[in-house]
Chains A and B, each alone.
Chain A
């Protein structure tokens, strides 16, 4: 048994930081005496009262996105440096923390998933709400059939000037915000319309039925994605918006920023 301890002890030796993902209060308390490494809590809310804390906007179901977000967030807050070695304690299958992994901070860049939420024009909560709507839509589809949808979030003034209406805007003179309970239903109904949804920095739904007309020059998105993704990539390159796309063909939710694909989620996993 002691051999096994020695073998696995190498996993946690000489690390600079320990990241606890959504720890329970007692689990966090048992780490209070750790002196030789920084203890960082990554969770949707700081329920354990940790000093070093990175807020998770979304309970990413796959572990790598969660770790990526946590490490990128800690780098952005300058809790860890580029060359640091980090041990992450995460939940994978269980309700409790059951996985320990060791990662290098240099493998991540702060412009990734963390930047999508925190360093965008729109508020993090708005982006999270839109992602949730897209995931929900991807899970259920419209009357059982898969649907596609394109949401452009933030920098709405510029986006409106780089697009034209395909038909009358059903959201004209309305003041609905994403995250209102009624909106999920409304967006589901309107998702069968063609064109994009435009959402402002504060989450107000400005318009549906928009045909985006950005210049698609120099947009680098993976080959094989359709016109909807191309439009999403291009509009984020041409403005400071974030685009969230639900693909009709493969059912994945993708987020674009600055013309690049940043995040890919499978709605079935949530």
Chain B
């Protein structure tokens, strides 16, 4: 009885002890939260998704993994928060002076780091997916496309991160806008014929005004239909095969020859 009271009074009165209590609770909860994040990320299958990306590989080179880095990031921000709180309680730090700074800055740093990690992983993964799709195309220049996709995503991720940190990014934004506009405008220009052929092809495939084996005339080309796909129709006549874009067929009209 005589021992309890002084101890209790000491516990409540001493700022150092309360601070260290906060600090210990922070350590434990940070560690637990980190483990929880790690497990949650594993459960949603993140390790399988990031497998084979450059970021994962370099993380593995450092003896950790993407999942490990993310969970450590979460744990670290909890440690930092509780450390500041503990220092405040201990009276070493004047909260009123540093709080606005940390409250404003810490979450932004956190999000910026997240954006960079996500950008690195997504960019690599997108490049992998694109190059897998292009593997059938045996053209050396096709290797440029995955790289372009990768760096576009890196660029956007970097832009988000810098924006979070409050760095002036207007020039970079204008560059991005010009880039996107160029892709859409030039892409539209380049794929104009394919788009209109595809639209016509949808009609031809759904309604089948003619089918394989029919004899048709388009313009001055007469022959037997050999194949209809989304973009072109193959019409064959005595060893000559006309491959006619579908929009041209719709524009010129189809003459079916029956006898």
Contact = CB atoms under 8 A, between A and B. Distances in A.
Tell whether A and B belong to one assembly: yes
Interface of A: 155-161, 172-173, 175, 198, 200-202, 204, 206
Nearest to A169: B211
A208 B211 CA distance: 14
Query: Which of A157, A159, A161 has the most C-beta atoms of chain B within 10 angstroms of its own C-beta?
Result: A157
B205 A157 contact: no
B205 to A, nearest CB: 6
Interface in B25-66: none
Given A161-B224, A173-B208, A175-B205, A156 B213 contact: yes
Contacts of B215: 161
Contacts of A175: 205
Contacts of B225: 157
B212 interface: yes
A201 B208 CA distance: 18
11 contacts: A156-B213, A157-B212, A157-B224, A158-B224, A161-B224, A175-B205, A201-B227, A204-B227, A206-B211, A206-B212, A206-B213
Taking residues whose C-beta sits less than 8 angstroms from the other chain, chain B's interface range is 10 to 19
Contacts of B227: 156, 200-202, 204
A202 B212 CA distance: 12
B226 A157 contact: yes
A155 B208 contact: no
Contacts of B213: 156-157, 159-161, 206
B205 A156 contact: no
A156 B213 CA distance: 7
Interface in B195-230: 205, 208, 211-213, 215, 224-227, 229
B124 interface: no
A202 B229 contact: yes
A202 B234 CA distance: 11
A226 to B, nearest CB: 26
A204 B205 contact: no
Contact of B236 (A157, A172, A173): A157
Contacts of B229: 202
A110 to B, nearest CB: 23
A204 B224 contact: no
Contacts of B208: 172-173
Nearest to A163: B213
Contact of B226 (A155, A172, A173): A155
Nearest to A174: B208
A200 B212 contact: yes
Given A157-B226, A173-B208, A175-B205, 14 more contacts: A157-B213, A158-B224, A158-B236, A159-B213, A160-B212, A160-B213, A161-B215, A161-B224, A198-B212, A201-B226, A201-B227, A202-B227, A204-B212, A206-B212
Interface in B64-117: none
B218 to A, nearest CB: 14
A175 B230 CA distance: 11
A204 B224 CA distance: 16
A160 B215 CA distance: 11
Contacts of A201: 226-227, 234
Nearest to B205: A175
B214 to A, nearest CB: 8
Query: Which of A156, A173, A201 has the most C-beta atoms of chain B within 10 angstroms of its own C-beta?
Result: A156
A175 B201 CA distance: 13
Contacts of B236: 157-158
